[in-house]
Structure 1
Amino acid sequence: MSELSIGTDSQVTLHFSLKFDDGSVIDSTFDRQPATFVMGDGSLLDGFEKKIHGMKKGEEGSFTVLPEEGFGQPNPSNVQQFSRGDFSADLELAEGLVISFADASQSELPGVVKSIDGDNITVDFNHPLAGRNIQFDVAIVDVAAKPAD
């Protein structure tokens, strides 16, 4: 029987690393337990899944994932202006601080403080990896049929 290749609904176990173009590591499982997921379950973005589609156990690959395939381009409308009075008085605001906001449906929405100009606070709600090329390195540990529900 031939080994399974990764396809729709495959259960995949793999090691991965995500790096910026300059080689700095964003995340990696190569120094810990591999990740296991089912293709299409939302664990990996579609652009990342497309890169490993067809691979088999034991294969390795290195791919560049462009913003359009990964975390998208930054959306200028996701950068919002706030007044210092919109925040708790005891909150020490600083550039780079990640603050949790509630969106219209009361879901958690993280925002990054981009700048502070007096009482004007600029917060960016774009994904931190938006607009970035991502180097995606993978080593396929196992490929199996999707487990029965």
Structure 2
Amino acid sequence: MRSLLCHMLIQLQDGSTAENTRASNKPVRLNLGDNSLSPAFEAQLADLKSGDKHSFTLAPQDAFGEVNPDNVYHMDRARFPADMTLEPGVIVGFSGANGTEIPGIVREVAGDSVTVDMNHPLAGQTLTFQLEVLQELADD
């Protein structure tokens, strides 16, 4: 497996920034060949090496996927801590089946019903990625 340590800028179609690793000074590690990236995303990385800069645009199905309505849940307010502020835009962590934390975004609160969207926040978006490869990392 090959990995690239990159600075990455992700922009939405309107030009706004969704993610910028330079702002946080925390480059991202992209692992090729472990199925963590879509085939289309991975194909864009295949020939990159240290020092390369590359920009590309991906449709939703090749980036973070389409919005899946089955990933929107209506939950009872009692399932959340009593002191938790629940309002649209709040991100809530849930335990996944394998012990990982899955973020959900509160979309609506109506009485005792809380609508939580478990889709990736960038699902359904056409995105432009600007990468700068800082380092090629050897197999672990």
TM-score (normalizing by structure 1)? 0.76
Instruction: Please list, as runs of the form range in 1=range in 2, the aligned pairs for 1:94-109 lying within 5 A after superposition.
Output: 94-109=87-102
Q: Quote the residue 1:117 is aligned against.
A: 110
Partner of 1:78: 71
> Could you tell me which amino acid in structure 2 is paired with residue 21 of structure 1?
Q
Partner of 1:132: 125
TM superposition shift of 1:62: 1.4
- Residue 55 of structure 2 aligns with which residue? 62
CA separation of 1:100 and 1:23: change in aligned 2, threshold 3 A: same
Counterpart of 1:29 in structure 2 is: 21
Question: Which deviates more, 46-55 or 77-86?
Answer: 46-55
Q: Give the CA RMSD over aligned residues.
A: 2.5
- How far does residue 118 in structure 1 lie from its aligned partner after superposition? 1.5
Q: How far 1:86 moved relative to its partner?
A: 2.3
Q: Percent identity?
A: 35
Counterpart of 1:63 in structure 2: which amino acid?
Answer: F
Bigger Rg, structure 1 or 2: 1
Q: CA deviation at 1:79?
A: 0.6
Tell me the TM-score normalised to structure 2 length: 0.80
Residue 41 of structure 2: SS of its match in structure 1? helix
CA-CA distance at 1:104 after TM superposition:
4.3
- Cα deviation, residue 37, structure 1: 4.6
Using the TM superposition, give the Cα deviation of residue 85 of structure 1 relative to its aligned residue in structure 2, in angstroms: 2.1
How many residue pairs match? The answer is 139
